Amino acid sequence: MTLLGQFALWAAFLLALWCAVVGFSGRWRGRPDLTTAVTRAVYGICAALLVAAASLWKGLLTHDFNIEYVWAYTSRNLPTYYVVSAFWAGQKGSLLFWAVVLSIFASAAQLLSSRRHAALLPYVAAVTSAVVAFFVSVMLFAANPFARMAVTPLDGRGLNPQLQNVGMTIHPPMLYLGYISITIPFAFAVAALLSRKLDTGWIHAIRKWTLVSWLVLGVGISLGMWWAFVELGWGGYWAWDPVENASLLPWLTMTAFLHSVMIQEKRGMLKRWNLGLIVGTFMLSIFGTFITRSGVIASVHSFTQSNVGYFFLAFLVIAGVFGFTLLYTRWPLLKPEVHLESVASREAAFLFNNLLFVGIAFSVLWGTLFPILSELVRGTKITVGPPFFNRVNVPLGLLLLALTGVGPLIAWRRASPANLRRQFTWPVGGAVLVLAALLGSGMRDFYAILSFTLAAFVAGTIIQEFFRGVRARRRMHGESVPIALGRLIARNRRRYGGYMVHVAILIYAVGFAGMAFKREREATLKPGQSIDIASPFGYTYRFTHVGISQYQVLNRIVSAATVQVARDGRPEGVMTSEKRQHFTVENGEKVPSFEPSTEVAIRSGLREDVYIVFAGPVNGTEEAVYRFTINPLVWWIWFGGFVLVFGGIVTMWPGDGTGAPGRARPAQAGYDVALVNTGAEP
Amino acid sequence: MSAPIDRRRFLAGGAALAVLGLSRPLAGQSQLPGAGATGSLGDPAAAGRPQTPTSTGDNDLAIQALEKRLRCTCGCTLDVYTCRTTDFSCTYSPQLHREVMQLWNSGMNAQQVIDTFVTRYGEQALMAPKPQGFNLAGYLLPGTLVAGAGAVMLWILTRRRAIAGVPVAVPGVPADATAEELERLRQALAESDQ
């Protein structure tokens, strides 16, 4: 199978190279025969890479330890679902995963794009093929997943225990999907620039793609946070690690794009900015890959250091020079159709929102690269950790949260004082009430108070929008509240789906603010001994150590430390945190394969999560050292993730809500005409 | 002849067997249902690194805050406190914790402990660089750029407004709607705006 895999990789590489060259030249020279061939070749590349993927999966599932990758990431006693997920657990396999998924997306882009964008498709094929060719070349020349070993070992090394978690079977592919799918909007942007078709056509062509990328990347980031919380055992979910930052960067710029593109669609402004954002987002996705795989910046999430970093650095530079040079050459064609008229307008609010998104992205990038810069300038190594990022980004983030509420309420073009009063009275009033309640309850943490108050303000603006929409429908059509709400959302999915995403963001903000009230304590307990911890919500938890039991499960020896939990004297059940010693079997003997890993015990609730880490035994006895943590409001972060997905799906759902999916509708036409005809101010 | 086993019994039996099989105690492990007694583990090496009993300083909030400002030297990129208590497997952070405790108990305040760490391990012992000299660029540049760009945008917008004076009507897109529909839409918009 490795021969077949190798052959498939070479076939994909040569086909992708041909496709990239002929795609550009065929379209350039106006040769329809060549452009048709290029489109078909995209499917051929996909087929070849699927064969390569199937070959690697077969090697993994049949425990072919002669393949170095299979030996390095699996073992005979590894559960099958982790054997399957080992495909993307290592550097080489994840490169193949990346190339396969990109080729699938490239094929989908050719297959699903409307014929209205046919002129762009050959260039799209050329760009996606060039990116595929790059990834396959990295595999062929630096990180071959089919590399063989000189001797076939009897068993493999096994998968890192921290990757043996259900979150890790989903989180990396989701992140990859997010990163990879950014290539399609980039390809359309380049196609629009090359073909000089710089109207809103390319934007319509990529609308769904950008939403999918943004959503999938957001889900990937959220899953990563969840995995860090449940698996790593430090009681947090975001450490501002360079690799975490790298995943956040394209998400931030893409979020900026999703807002600013609305201005281009409605007002014909920000064309240059939007193209720049798409090119920049693609660059950041490659930058993230470079950070993860080069080892240039220390990270707990990095792959093993290897020379693939140089490939990515070179590609990053080439793609950047190509993209921005192209943008520069088309600069005069991208003049705005109108200019901003007022600071008090939705366009201005979106513009400031974009400034903040890009500002946060810059500060995260700046902080991530600052250690390298400092070493270059001063020759001194420094660390830039959470204290730096929190100090710089929290104020910007809170400002952005405020704009999340302001933006949707201000009228397009120019808002009158009456409009502002009408829109903001209730939300601001609600926020002031919440502020008073927080201060009255004795809360004194500045950032937490500000977060909760702004979240209340944003919630007020969204509730008001839904309330007014439902009321208008009820008056016009006499509908019941649920039907009016359902139809309100269905008839304008993009707007109300967007509001749902805003709800998700404010839920995230509330969850993040909860960390300010975290309580943690270490304790050494003998069986029967207990410790009391007061939670920020006023409960008193009593943790009683029951004992430690040891047993064998699948590929590991488990040491399970059990704790009885009571809240305000009422029993809440038992919680068990584990140490797991994974092993492989050599000559009938169990040989430890990794350092013992920790499984955290978590009891999740709306108010707080109880989080117990079994540190280890004292002197080999049942006397155990624990860390007990009360994490307030963490559940809300995961719930925010669900709301984000729901809102994203509503936004992307096809059709116009009238029961005719896919029917083209002259969006907002009546709205504009009514405003212009009546001279009414919105 | 024995009665046939129904599906519920069969599944219950299977589940019980699975539980017994999966949770088989290792040979030599003490059976300790009672509270208070402390038995020995059958395989202590499988239960993680041996731990020393917790000391008062481990739960001192001032020490925790201090250790959150110091970086662990194991290469994990975490601070001393987080690395030490993440899964209690690091061998560097407990030693750094002991150093902190020693300095603290010798009468040093938090800043003096931090300064001592910088002297011993260099500036990279800090989780965030000191806001001085070149590092100030790290702290101030993002905020300055955002504030500067925001100020420029505001200036341009207010200047443009002053020059434009009167708002310009935007050319509308021809609507595929009747006059009656447009009127209904106008009313709906006015209502939703109220």
- How far is residue B147's CA from residue A32's CA, in Å, rounded to a whole number? 51
Which candidate in B74, B88, B130, B187 is best for mutational testing of the A interface (most A CBs within 10 A)? B88
Q: Do B47 and A579 touch (CB under 8 A)?
A: yes
Residues A556-574, mean pLDDT to the nearest whole number: 95
Find the residue in B nearest to A522 (Cα): B59
Question: Which pLDDT value is given to residue A172?
Answer: 85
Which candidate in A384, A474, A496 is best for mutational testing of the B interface (most B CBs within 10 A)? A384
**DSSP per-residue letters across A618-660:** STTBS-EEEEEEEEETHHHHHHHHHHHHHHHHHHH-SS-SSS-
Q: Closest approach of chain A CAs to the CA of B107, in angstroms?
A: 24
Question: Which pLDDT value is given to residue B27?
Answer: 41
The amino acid present at A493, given as its one-letter code, is R
Instruction: Say which of A339, A387, A615 has its CB closest to residue B127.
Output: A387
Cβ-Cβ contacts under 8 Å, B58 against chain A: 522
Q: Do B127 and A381 touch (CB under 8 A)?
A: no
Cβ-Cβ contacts under 8 Å, A527 against chain B: 32, 34-38
Find the residue in A nearest to B53 (Cα): A524
Q: Do B138 and A366 touch (CB under 8 A)?
A: yes
Instruction: Say which of A300, A378, A595 has its CB closest to residue B134.
Output: A378
Is a pLDDT exceeding 70 seen at residue A143? Answer: yes
Residue A106 tokens read as: 């490239």
Q: How confident is the model at residue A46 (pLDDT cuts 50, 70, 90)?
A: very high
Q: Do B193 and A419 touch (CB under 8 A)?
A: yes
Question: pTM for this one?
Answer: 0.85
Which candidate in B41, B61, B87 is best for mutational testing of the A interface (most A CBs within 10 A)? B87
Instruction: Say which of B24, B50, B157 has its CB closest to residue A616.
Output: B50
Instruction: Say which of A299, A386, A617 has its CB closest to residue B47.
Output: A617
- How big is chain A by its Cα radius of gyration, in Å? 27
Query: Among residues A255, A261, A247, which one has the least CA distance to residue A188?
Result: A261
Question: Strand runs (DSSP E) across A445-586, as ranges?
Answer: 519-525, 530-534, 540-553, 556-567, 570-586
Q: Do A384 and B37 touch (CB under 8 A)?
A: no
Backbone angles phi, psi at A551, to 5 degrees: -160, 170
Q: Tell me the β-bridge partners of B161.
A: none
Q: Closest approach of chain B CAs to the CA of A264, in angstroms?
A: 14
The string of pLDDT tens digits covering residues A382-397 is: 889 999 999 999 999 9
Determine the Cα angle at A319 with ends A314 and A322, to 5°.
Answer: 125
Residue A451 tokens read as: 């977060």
The string of pLDDT tens digits covering residues B83-134 is: 999 888 888 999 999 999 999 999 999 999 999 999 999 998 999 999 889 9
Find the residue in B nearest to A302 (Cα): B76
Is a pLDDT exceeding 80 seen at residue A427? Answer: yes
Q: Are A240 and A299 a contacting pair, CB within 8 Å?
A: no
Instruction: Say which of B32, B41, B128 has its CB closest to residue A388.
Output: B128
Is a pLDDT exceeding 80 seen at residue A179? Answer: yes
Q: Do B77 and A299 touch (CB under 8 A)?
A: yes
**Range name among A29-33, A35-39, A596-600 with the lowest pLDDT average:** A29-33
Q: Are A513 and A634 a contacting pair, CB within 8 Å?
A: no
Residues A617-624, mean pLDDT to the nearest whole number: 93
Is a pLDDT exceeding 50 seen at residue B194? Answer: no
Which value, to the nearest 10 degrees, does the dihedral of the CA atoms of residues A330, A333, A337, A342 take? Answer: 40
Mean pLDDT for chain A overall? 89
Q: Closest approach of chain B CAs to the CA of A142, in angstroms?
A: 26
Cβ-Cβ contacts under 8 Å, B135 against chain A: 374, 382
Which candidate in A227, A341, A597 is best for mutational testing of the B interface (most B CBs within 10 A)? A341
Q: Do A617 and B44 touch (CB under 8 A)?
A: yes
Q: Do B172 and A348 touch (CB under 8 A)?
A: no
Residues A173-192, mean pLDDT to the nearest whole number: 93
Element containing residue A257 per DSSP (H, E): helix A242-267
Instruction: Say which of A378, A387, A616 has its CB closest to residue B51.
Output: A616
Tell me the C-alpha to C-alpha distance, in Å, between residue A440 and each of A433, A444, A450, A486, B93.
Answer: 10, 10, 14, 38, 41
Mean pLDDT for chain B overall? 78
Instruction: Say which of B25, B89, B134 has its CB closest to residue A549.
Output: B25
Instruction: Say which of A241, A382, A413 has its CB closest to residue B123.
Output: A382
Q: Closest approach of chain B CAs to the CA of A14, in angstroms?
A: 41
Element containing residue A435 per DSSP (H, E): helix A417-440
Alpha helices in A339-380 (DSSP H): 346-378
Q: How confident is the model at residue A555 (pLDDT cuts 50, 70, 90)?
A: confident
Q: Do B53 and A471 touch (CB under 8 A)?
A: no
Backbone angles phi, psi at A659, to 5 degrees: 85, 10
Question: Which pLDDT value is given to residue B33?
Answer: 40
Tell me the C-alpha to C-alpha distance, in Å, between residue A524 and each of A121, A501, A615, A619, B52.
Answer: 65, 44, 9, 12, 9
- How far is residue B113's CA from residue A314's CA, in Å, rounded to a whole number? 44
- How far is residue A341's CA from residue B76's CA, in Å, rounded to a whole number? 51
- How far is residue A130's CA from residue A414's CA, in Å, rounded to a whole number? 45
Cβ-Cβ contacts under 8 Å, B138 against chain A: 366-367, 370, 374, 384, 388
Cβ-Cβ contacts under 8 Å, B76 against chain A: 300
Backbone angles phi, psi at B166, to 5 degrees: -95, 140
Which candidate in B51, B58, B121 is best for mutational testing of the A interface (most A CBs within 10 A)? B51
Is a pLDDT exceeding 60 seen at residue B171? Answer: no
Residues A162-177, mean pLDDT to the nearest whole number: 84
Find the residue in B nearest to A353 (Cα): B150
Find the residue in A nearest to B163 (Cα): A341
The string of pLDDT tens digits covering residues A444-479 is: 899 999 999 999 999 999 999 999 999 999 999 999
- How far is residue A495's CA from residue A657's CA, in Å, rounded to a whole number? 13
Instruction: Say which of A298, A374, A387 has its CB closest to residue B75.
Output: A298
Backbone angles phi, psi at A247, to 5 degrees: -75, -30
Instruction: Say which of B42, B146, B176 has its CB closest to residue A669.
Output: B176
Residues B7-14, mean pLDDT to the nearest whole number: 63
Q: How confident is the model at residue A665 (pLDDT cuts 50, 70, 90)?
A: very low
**DSSP per-residue letters across A449-470:** HHHHHHHHHHHHHHHHHHHHHH
Instruction: Say which of A383, A581, A677 has its CB closest to residue B127.
Output: A383
Query: Among residues A311, A356, A361, which one has the least CA distance to residue A136?
Result: A311
Cβ-Cβ contacts under 8 Å, A300 against chain B: 76-78
The amino acid present at B31, given as its one-letter code, is Q
Cβ-Cβ contacts under 8 Å, A246 against chain B: none
Determine the Cα angle at A437 with ends A432 and A440, to 5°.
Answer: 125
Q: How confident is the model at residue A640 (pLDDT cuts 50, 70, 90)?
A: very high
Q: Are A510 and A451 a contacting pair, CB within 8 Å?
A: yes
Q: Are A237 and A226 a contacting pair, CB within 8 Å?
A: yes
Q: Closest approach of chain B CAs to the CA of A128, in angstroms?
A: 33
Compare B49 and B6 and report the one with higher pLDDT: B49
Instruction: Say which of A552, A627, A680 has its CB closest to residue B26.
Output: A552
| Alpha-carbon dihedral sign for residues A74, A76, A79, A83 | positive
Question: Which pLDDT value is given to residue A674?
Answer: 34
Q: Is A330 exposed, middle or buried (0-12, 13-18, 19+ CB in 10 A)?
A: middle
Q: Do B129 and A384 touch (CB under 8 A)?
A: yes
What residue has token string 């001063």?
Answer: A378
Q: Are A88 and A97 a contacting pair, CB within 8 Å?
A: yes
Alpha helices in A115-181 (DSSP H): 121-141, 166-181
Q: Do A396 and B146 touch (CB under 8 A)?
A: yes
Q: Are A122 and A21 a contacting pair, CB within 8 Å?
A: no
Q: Do B75 and A234 touch (CB under 8 A)?
A: no
Residue A157 tokens read as: 């090394």
Q: How confident is the model at residue B2 (pLDDT cuts 50, 70, 90)?
A: very low
Q: Are A71 and A156 a contacting pair, CB within 8 Å?
A: yes
Cβ-Cβ contacts under 8 Å, A355 against chain B: 146, 149-150, 153
- How far is residue B25's CA from residue B20's CA, in Å, rounded to a whole number? 9
Number of A/B CB contacts below 8 angstroms equals 317
Cβ-Cβ contacts under 8 Å, B125 against chain A: 383
Residue A508 tokens read as: 């995230």
Terminal Cα distance for chain A, rounded: 65
Helix (H, G, I), strand (E, B) or coil at B9: helix
Q: Tell me the β-bridge partners of A574.
A: A564
- The distance from CA A392 to its chain's CA centroid, rounded to whole angstroms, is 21
Cβ-Cβ contacts under 8 Å, A553 against chain B: 22-23
Q: Closest approach of chain B CAs to the CA of A549, in angstroms?
A: 7
- How far is residue A437's CA from residue A411's CA, in Å, rounded to a whole number? 31
